[in-house]
Amino acid sequence: MAAPEGPLVVGVDSSTQSTKALVVDTATGEVVARGQAPHTVSAQHESDPEQWWQALREALAQCGAAARRASAVSVGGQQHGLVTLGADGRPVRPALLWNDVRSAPQRDRLVGRLGGPKAWAERTGSVPAPSFTAPKWMWLAENEPDAVAATRAVRLPHDYLTERLTGEAVTDRGDASGTGWWASATEAYDPEVLELIGLDPALLPRVPTPGEAAGTVRPGASAGLPAGALVATGTGDNMAAALGLGLRPGQPVLSLGTSGTVYAVSRTRPADPTGTVSGFADAGSAWLPLACTLNCTLAVDRLAGLLGLDREAVAGGGEAVVLPFLDGERTPHLPYASGLVYGLRHDTSGGQLLQAAYDGAVYALLRALDLVLEADSDPRTPILLIGGGAKGAAWRETVRRLSGRPVRVPRAQELVALGAAAQAAGLLLGEDPAEVARRWGTSEGQDHDAVPRDEAALDRLSHTLDAADTLLRQS
């Protein structure tokens, strides 16, 4: 491999299932080394943060000498997770992850206590979902008071790893905006929300201004990075992916992973009183309106498994509708829902039923995308299709058929880690991280032209979801 043309930086993606590390040449965006190590997640959607740290160390060790030459590092991490640390700085209990929705009753009470959805949207930018961190803290206080009593610091997943590297308690506005206790109207922690949930603000990390360093790698922090290397604040995984794509305002992204997300950068602070769109901040000084579904690739793969089919074995035709809400659902807000199959006929084939599952998952995302974009996007602008599902023809063609928009599948992979690397490069070079990513050409890829929308399928999905709403809320 040729010698790098510029300084090296490390971008980290600490996701639900694993931690990845990329060493990137700041001049070209070339990935010169990579590493990855797995995490274990319990059936209750919990994970030990110590695993994340050990996985980071292992991933960096796999990067070898390239990581040891890095001048800066940044950590992108899964959003919303609740990390509780004791007086010794170690986790009090396993972290409650983003897809843990046990706190749905606490979420419902919390929304009511602050004046309802509209008041929340105006104040914090979002109506909290059960996945947000604030309801998780309430759940912990009600169900494990001893753990709360032992807690001396509260962190998000990326905060925890940044602090292990630097010794500094910092977060960023992007990830903080997904907690429910950071107000987008004031760009600060909200004292009334913190009082409502019984959380002492002294337990929370500082929120630096965009572009400010979190610190430097402290001696002995990690064998894989040089002491004194700059450490950026890091951010949430969705904010990091937006940086990794170098998004411009109004450019839509649809991410197909275990969960599905749709988002776009906006210059206007979002405040959706329906709660469909979360009004997140981005990793800079703009905004990242985003909608998330809990059920995406994993749910469709589960249906394929039940049918005994390969995930690509879809068939056209048929009138069946599948709403694959196997884990409850966040968008639409149906935390107690289960999956629903409607419209089966004697001649419905397994392939048609599998296609209906794809349709149900994509429909939920596209309906939310209309609210994310509002009037902010030219319909001729391609949807950027990312995540593991973007590699599948069935996912891509379903998005084209139901959206009526062109689709681009970026060639760049591991966008969260690339976005973290762009943030580290921006800090090191004094540049806008999104401009760095655009210079690297991360959003370039294969384009697929628009096709006419399948209005019949969209009508079936809309009518079925509306008719089944009461049943799904009770299931």
Which residues does the annotation mark as catalytic? Answer: 237
Q: How far is CA 309 from the centre of its chain?
A: 29
Q: How far is CA 404 from the centre of its chain?
A: 25
User: Under a CB-based contact definition with an 8 Å cutoff, are residues 31 and 422 in contact?
Assistant: no
Between helix 297-307 and helix 350-373 the angle, nearest 10°, is: 170
Nearest Cα neighbor of 321 from 368, 365, 357 is 357
| Count of beta carbons in the 10 Å neighbourhood of residue 475 | 14
Phi, psi angles (nearest 5°) of residue 439:
-65, -30
10 Å CB burial of residue 17 (0-12, 13-18, 19+) is middle
Helix, strand, coil percent content, the chain, rounded in steps of 5: 40, 20, 40
Cis peptide before 332 (omega within 30 of 0): yes
Which ranges of 211-296 does DSSP label H, i.e. alpha helix?
237-245
CA distances from 386 to 22, 169, 311 (A): 18, 32, 18
DSSP codes of every residue in 340-370? EEE---TT--HHHHHHHHHHHHHHHHHHHHH
| Rounded Cα gap, residues 147 and 143, in angstroms | 9
| Rounded Cα gap, residues 261 and 331, in angstroms | 10
Task: Kindly state the helix (H) or strand (E) to which residue 403 belongs, with its residue range.
Answer: helix 393-403
10 Å CB burial of residue 260 (0-12, 13-18, 19+) is buried
Dihedral sign, Cα of residue 184, residue 186, residue 190, residue 193? negative
| Rounded Cα gap, residues 272 and 117, in angstroms | 9
Q: What is the largest CA-CA distance in the chain?
A: 68
Dihedral sign, Cα of residue 425, residue 427, residue 431, residue 435? positive
| Rounded Cα gap, residues 213 and 20, in angstroms | 21
DSSP codes of every residue in 39-87? ----TTSEE-HHHHHHHHHHHHHHHTHHHHT-SEEEEEE-SS-BEEE-T
